[in-house]
Amino acid sequence: MASEPLNDKELDRLAAFGTILFGRKSGCDETATMRAMLRVPSEGGASAAADGTAREDGPFFIACDGSEEEQSVCKQAGITETPVTVVAGVGYLGAQSAKAIRAAIALPDFVSEGLKRAEATLYGSESCSWTVRQKTVFGPAFETVNYVECNREPGKCSAAGVSSVPAWHLAKAGPDGTPRKLVGFQPLPALLQATASRFSEAELKEFTERD
């Protein structure tokens, strides 16, 4: 079920995105549901590993009815309703968002598989904030992405006709294997759409309909 506690791998993914759960210590059953899913102890702080030991990398719980410091953080973050789970800068409201959060965890791996099948290459520059952001949205899944750093390998970028970064070159994007180029930062849903033809209907259905 979508609200079952996350396993360690799922928590690793959320931790890589700097996930925060904003909630309340009392009077909010949905906060308790999300806290259990994220394995966050009732006293707040970071989540626990499967063996019960504390994880220093989160996800973290901030109680909007807690200390003055926590209340101030909630106010600065614009939190007016709880619980809100922030994953990679995107907020998910309520316990009903559990399925969407699980999808957000799995999306980077699914997209990176599509990019692999499309024989995609990302051209970028470590000095470009949009390149850094593009890499960040993948979290640990970026390790499987074929990436060319133009500052270190300018010849490869020049040969590929790259004039601005980040730039995606998909050698086999279309159903018939036609190539495609995407210039600029691409959200994961956009990359999924660009590589959807590399998956079977059954694979796409299984991904979109799973709990």
Query: How many other CB atoms sit within 10 Å of the CB of residue 174?
Result: 13
Give me the domain span that covers residue 60: 8-93
Is 176 within 8 Å of 199 (Cβ atoms)? no
Coil, strand or helix at 93: strand
The tally of CA atoms less than 13 A away on the side-chain side of residue 68 is 0
Q: Among 93, 117, 146, identify where a domain stops.
A: 93
Is 82 within 8 Å of 31 (Cβ atoms)? yes
Evaluate whether residue 57 is within a structural domain: yes
Evaluate whether residue 101 is within a structural domain: no
What per-residue confidence (pLDDT) applies to 88? 74
Q: Which long-range contacts link 193-202 to residues 24+ away (Cβ below 8 Å)? A: 194/114, 194/118, 194/168, 194/170, 195/111, 195/114, 195/115, 195/117, 195/118, 195/120, 195/170, 196/114, 197/173, 198/114, 198/117, 198/118, 198/172, 198/173, 199/114, 199/117
Evaluate whether residue 98 is within a structural domain: no
pTM of the model: 0.68
Q: What CA–CA distance (Å, rounded) separates 208 from 193?
A: 13
What per-residue confidence (pLDDT) applies to 99? 81
Do 82 and 143 share a domain, yes or no? Answer: no
User: Can you read off the two tokens belonging to residue 62?
Assistant: 């901030």
Evaluate whether residue 43 is within a structural domain: yes
Q: In what order do the strands lie in the sheet with 45-46?
A: 45-46, 60-63, 20-23, 84-87, 90-93
163, burial (CB in 10 Å: exposed 0-12, middle 13-18, buried 19+): exposed
Coil, strand or helix at 127: coil
Evaluate whether residue 47 is within a structural domain: yes
Coil, strand or helix at 173: coil
pLDDT tens digits for the chain (211 residues)?
A: 456 788 888 888 787 777 889 999 887 778 888 888 888 865 555 555 555 555 566 678 899 999 999 999 999 999 999 999 988 778 889 887 788 888 888 888 999 999 999 999 999 999 999 999 999 888 888 999 999 999 999 999 999 999 999 999 999 988 888 999 999 999 888 999 999 989 988 888 877 766 5
Please report, for the domain that includes residue 12, its CATH number. Answer: 3.40.30.10
User: Can you read off the two tokens belonging to residue 102?
Assistant: 């699980």
Which residues touch 82 (CB under 8 Å, ≥6 apart)? 22, 23, 24, 28, 30, 31, 64
Evaluate whether residue 17 is within a structural domain: yes
Evaluate whether residue 41 is within a structural domain: yes
What per-residue confidence (pLDDT) applies to 2? 54
User: Can you read off the two tokens belonging to residue 143?
Assistant: 């390790």
What per-residue confidence (pLDDT) applies to 36? 85
Number of structural domains the chain divides into: 2
What per-residue confidence (pLDDT) applies to 7? 81
Coil, strand or helix at 201: helix
